[in-house]
Structure 1
Amino acid sequence: MVDSGHRTCPVTKLPLSPCSPLIPNYALRSLIDSFTPSVTAATSTVRKTNKTSLPPSEDPRFLFSSLSYPASAAALSTLHRLVKDEPAFRRLLADSGAASILLRHASSTDSPDLQDISLRTLLYLSLDGDDVRVGLVADGALDYLSCAITSGGPNAALAATTLTSLAVVEVNKCTIGAHPSAITALCALLMSGKERECREATTALFEICKFPGNRRRAVRAGAVHAPYSQAMAPRGLYRFSVCFAKCKEGRDTMVSVDGFVRVLAGILREGTTRGMEHALLVLNLVCSENVNLCWEAKKEGVREICFVLVEKDHEKIARNALALARTLEKRGGGSFGPNGLIAKDAADADDLNAMADFGKLEVAFNDEYYKLKLFYCSTN
């Protein structure tokens, strides 16, 4: 029956014509045909690894047929080990439907140990490819992972990491953003979690907010205020700032954050090269729309920092520093000195003249962006 296809219409109970190309259970036969080699391949792979015959408890057929909720710790541990060590077994597990049992355990806080094993298994499973990631989201993974993140505890960070893996796929970014509690749960974890929880929540939000539509949702959920209230490390701060500075709601919210300019000024003084590059970009975007922030930036010494960075041997930093310097001049008062930098008064002009003795700065402007060329020459 399976080989030939069932040729009777399930509605009318009438046989199909002999020349009809329609075979209703073709998909079922295809699944059966593809399932058997997969089981054989996974079983043979495990046997080669162990160099012994498989015990019944590790046979994929036995595992999937006996797995139910709630599962035993031994069964989940076996699944975790096979998924971690055997790439062929990941595809087999994804196609078996057993992921739904893992997801139910992932949201259960009654057994933290089983929750931990299930989340780790799901994380390894999500590494099998984009199809698996999309399939897990279709199976309702967002509901279970959001529940695990909201409940807190030692496994919240692991749930956030799994969510980051799912968000790598563009279509999943959109789905996660539309979920009623995923972004909210991550923002809550960011505000109340410990160091590891904050780090994983930051990474997940950063990945999710690469989709522009999710930035506004994250801002409304408190993602902009959270990093500053938790004194996040500079790397996390500038990543967040760059992400949300590209969104008008994000820029408007940054203006209301106490200490926003002070923290970014600190990154300009002591941050990494990448941190300085992005901090300059963020300050330029925000200060271009707010005069008060321009004056605050000057009080924090950002203008003087730009004087130094504009001659730094790094094209992006120099370009961003020059752009910020011009923004501060236009929005906050002052004028350009003889070497193209801001001179607010005579003392500033003298300082800039002294700087010009060490090098000559030539700035060429393009319609789309500033092109910066630095020509260093020895003093005579």
Structure 2
Amino acid sequence: MDPCEAMVDVTPRSMVSTGFLPAGELLESLICVSNEVALIETIPFVQMKNITTMVRRIRLLSSLFEEIQEIDRPLPPSSILCLAELNYVFQRVKVLMESCREGSVMWNLMQTERISNQFYALVRDMGSALDILPLSLLNLTSDTREQVELLHKQAKRVQLFVDPGEIQRRDELLQLVITYKERNRKDKGFVDFRRTGEILSSVGLRSPLEYKDEISKLIAEAEKQAGTGGLIVVSNMNNIIALLSITKIAIFNEDEHPKTQEDVKKRKMPSNNQNDLSYSHSMLFSIPDEYRCPISLELMNDPVTVASGHTYDRNSIAQWINSGHHTCPKSGQRLIHMALIPNYALKSLIHQWCLENNIPQKSTPSSSNTDQTSNKRRSSEATIDHISATKAAVDAVKMTAEFLVGKLATGSADIQRQAAYEIRLLAKTGMDNRRIIAEAGSIPFLVTLLGSQDSRIQENAITALLNLSIYENNKILIMAAGSIDNIVDVLYSGKTMEAKENAAATIFSLTIIDEHKITIGSHPRAIPALVGLLGEGTTSGKRDAATALFNLALFNVNRAKVILAGAVPLLINLLIDDKAGITDDVLAVLALLLGCTEGLEEIRKSRVLVPLLIDLMRFGSSNGKENSITLLLGLCKDGGEDVAQRLLINPHSIPSLQTLAAEGSLKARRKADALLRILNRHCTQITNPLG
């Protein structure tokens, strides 16, 4: 994942949720969105193929909605469910496409893999929705039916598409940013503005107005990201903004400000004090706004960026902070940290502007005039300013991680809270980051902080461990640090619900390794705490608890413990609750628990489960249908005559099983056949009891 990447939730809604709009309103909404998408004229230069392909798919489905709208009889329930899911998918498509069209081109280019993944997920969700569309029950024209069937097959086979041209342009631009930064910081390197202009032109930046608009969008996005504490992201975006600004000057300067080099050479500074004052006063009004400090309104000598994303001169903002203020002077936003990030790119732009206008600059203090503490502080801040995928970037992350771990070990509660938060952010993206942070020795200190009485410290520490655990080797290191007692304590009695839920997600991540299933399952409070979260957590927390229990239940010994902790009634209640939104996860856990004697006995006690499973067998997702049949098959075996009888008297059971036996997945077909044979034998025994 690239350095400017942000996390965006693209999780599909449960396929069995209820509370849908009436069919007429659903169709009107779908037709409206389809028409809006079909009328798109300007396709952005980034994600062009994914967008055009998505537009084509939605246009194909628009004829389906129009034909369904003409049907004058009630629609089958499964078609209502399909329309509701498609409406939800289409709304997300619209938001994503608007973001691509109206947002920053450069920001989208930096995140091309993530956005491509979102398009891929939306197409898959579209295919899942079409799984439950009963084409045979709808009076459609043959052309529309063929179009929908073809689209359905394509959606199920869709592959993730990341435009290699966009990857190449992004990498070239990142390299140009690195070159430009090296030129600014070490007075070496050369930026090829001709090539830079060509690359920017290829993504739609071809005029001064387009450059200006893009820079404004990037600045707004940088402020947004800074508000979430994304220091690395903001630093990278500042460098990109600076490169755009200097490229705009290099390419369009003569057209915007006609002047000759001779004019610049003839410009001289006044020599006496009175003229100096007059010159300074006149220059105040000719300084570009982006080069002025918002506090002093003077030309910035050492620009730095604060947590809000705004840039100030170092002396001015330092005085503001040292006087006891903890907010951004420009936005009024409370600063989540007090780090001053050097904006080398803007500093270089100001320096070049001063040279062009023959204006002297103050010299910045040398290292010999600063004490050791200041040097260390600036060194730690400078490590944030880097671009990923280079050796320099790896070294910078290493230095940052070591600095932050030092603060975890020796800092006050406030410093530990901030350090844990920065590690949480740094570990959010990139496997290299997660490896480097662990190698810096962060894990034992984060485990210790799980016991903090400060809710924010605890929450940051458990989330940082969750992010670190994504890297395979870190799972082993976290377990080796003796973390389970502390993680279970947070899961059982964490200070916030988010801390509890992230503890459950951490357990899920750790139990990917089989040995950890045994260790965590043997902890006396781990499974009961996860079961407790099934009842009290948010939708996300309940899903984390269910998936963690699923992983643990893969190990046979743990299944009885899950049942003893009272999981089965809670899981069945989650199936009944149409707002829970975790149907597939719950079914997967129940199907596992059915594999032990205690589980079978406990599940058979429920009188509401069989009707639910019959409905899910008809309207559920592919996985939901498979697990529903698995449960029904298990309940009918070995003394399950009562369940078999209930299936036989339900008018929907046999048709649904026959449909799945013919059209379902390989597993679903096999299990549907087995269940039909059992029901057939049971029916024969009833009609011919003597054999």
**TM-score using structure 2 length:** 0.39
Pairs within 5 Å for 1:273-312: 273-289=622-638, 290-301=640-651, 302-312=653-663
Q: 2:607 matched to 1:263?
A: no
1:248 is aligned to 597
Pairs within 5 Å for 1:1-20: none
Distance across 2 between alignment mates of 1:87 and 1:314: 35
Contact 2:530 2:545 in 1 (8 A): yes
Structure 1 residues 96 and 228 mapped into 2: Cα distance closer, same or farther (>3 Å)?
same
Contact 2:553 2:589 in 1 (8 A): no
Per-residue deviation, residues 275-315 of structure 1 (Å, max 9, x unmatched): 22221122111211222222222233423432443333644
Structure 1 residues 138 and 264 mapped into 2: Cα distance closer, same or farther (>3 Å)?
same
2:462 is aligned to 119
2:448 is aligned to 104
Q: Mind listing any 5+ residue stretches in structure 1 that lack a counterpart?
A: 1-41, 336-342, 346-380
Contact 1:43 1:60 in 2 (8 A): no
Distance across 1 between alignment mates of 2:515 and 2:532: 24
More deviation, 147-156/278-287: 147-156
More deviation, 173-182/300-309: 300-309
Q: 2:421 matched to 1:77?
A: yes
Q: CA deviation at 1:154?
A: 2.9
Distance across 1 between alignment mates of 2:541 and 2:403: 37
1:35 is aligned to none
Q: 2:404 matched to 1:63?
A: yes
Pairs within 5 Å for 1:1-380: 48-49=386-387, 59-68=400-409, 70=413, 72-85=416-429, 87-108=431-452, 110-129=453-472, 131-151=473-493, 153-230=497-574, 231=577, 232=580, 233-289=582-638, 290-301=640-651, 302-312=653-663, 314-330=665-681, 332-334=682-684
Contact 1:287 1:294 in 2 (8 A): yes
Distance across 2 between alignment mates of 1:310 and 1:60: 55
Per-residue deviation, residues 218-257 of structure 1 (Å, max 9, x unmatched): 1111222211123354312321222112222211111012
Distance across 1 between alignment mates of 2:423 and 2:673: 56
Distance across 2 between alignment mates of 1:97 and 1:250: 43
Per-residue deviation, residues 18-72 of structure 1 (Å, max 9, x unmatched): xxxxxxxxxxxxxxxxxxxxxxxx99986643989x99xx654443344337453
Q: Which amino acid aligns with 1:324?
A: L
Per-residue deviation, residues 178-216 of structure 1 (Å, max 9, x unmatched): 111111110111122232221111111112222222222
Q: Number of residues paired by the alignment?
A: 292
Contact 1:191 1:229 in 2 (8 A): no
Structure 1 residues 63 and 314 mapped into 2: Cα distance closer, same or farther (>3 Å)?
closer
Per-residue deviation, residues 99-148 of structure 1 (Å, max 9, x unmatched): 2321233344x43322222122111211222x321221122222122111
Contact 1:206 1:243 in 2 (8 A): yes
Q: CA deviation at 1:96?
A: 4.6
Q: CA deviation at 1:259?
A: 0.9
Structure 1 residues 320 and 149 mapped into 2: Cα distance closer, same or farther (>3 Å)?
same
Q: Which has the larger radius of gyration?
A: 2
Contact 1:106 1:148 in 2 (8 A): yes
Contact 2:401 2:440 in 1 (8 A): no
Q: CA deviation at 1:89?
A: 4.9
Distance across 1 between alignment mates of 2:552 and 2:451: 21
Q: Which amino acid aligns with 1:63?
A: L
Structure 1 residues 317 and 87 mapped into 2: Cα distance closer, same or farther (>3 Å)?
closer
Contact 2:462 2:503 in 1 (8 A): yes
RMSD of Structure 2 on Structure 1 (CA): 3.2
Structure 1 residues 88 and 151 mapped into 2: Cα distance closer, same or farther (>3 Å)?
same
Contact 1:94 1:132 in 2 (8 A): yes
Structure 1 residues 323 and 122 mapped into 2: Cα distance closer, same or farther (>3 Å)?
same
Q: CA deviation at 1:159?
A: 1.3
Contact 1:269 1:305 in 2 (8 A): yes
Q: CA deviation at 1:91?
A: 3.3
Distance across 2 between alignment mates of 1:48 and 1:305: 58
Distance across 2 between alignment mates of 1:83 and 1:315: 40
Distance across 1 between alignment mates of 2:534 and 2:382: 44
Q: Mind listing any 5+ residue stretches in structure 2 that lack a counterpart?
A: 1-379
2:269 is aligned to none
Distance across 2 between alignment mates of 1:92 and 1:43: 18
Per-residue deviation, residues 301-348 of structure 1 (Å, max 9, x unmatched): 423432443333644333222211222233x3336xxxxxxx969xxx
Distance across 1 between alignment mates of 2:543 and 2:451: 21
**TM-score using structure 1 length:** 0.67
Contact 1:83 1:90 in 2 (8 A): yes
Structure 2 counterpart SS, 1:155: helix
Structure 1 counterpart SS, 2:554: coil
Contact 2:463 2:499 in 1 (8 A): no
Identity %: 25
Q: Which amino acid aligns with 2:642?
A: N
Higher relative contact order (CA 8 A, sep 6+): 2
